[in-house]
Structure 1
């Protein structure tokens, strides 16, 4: 079901040069405001497809903790809160 949402909403994946651009298009990147030496990062931008954001969050929440991404989610979630762990970017 989630794969169908991704395919229908994203369309041709080759239009994005990399995963960072796709995450930005979906609104899963943090707000970034910068002035001289001061940087402010906030909540996710939520610009883009609401269905893609929903499907991405659902997919990450269902991952078992023993996988690399699931372990990262749990580690960040323990430190900063479960919701932040779910949308945290893993490099």
Structure 2
């Protein structure tokens, strides 16, 4: 499952006020703002990409730990991501 799809599902399922707006795309919903944010995270050194996968860097993990998120939400997100395999 690609990043946009995971973000779309997470936004719709867990957020009372969606943090991103999505427009129809040939492969599903697409958010221009999330694409720009992803690029900024890469430039800031919080994410890294190999040929097929994105992952947090050490700095990205440290930054993420600074933000309070419910444990249950993280578990559900990880289960969905690991089951489907996030790419792009």
Higher relative contact order (CA 8 A, sep 6+): 2
> TM-score, normalised on structure 2?
0.28
The TM-score normalised by the length of structure 1 is 0.28
Larger-gyration structure (1/2): 1
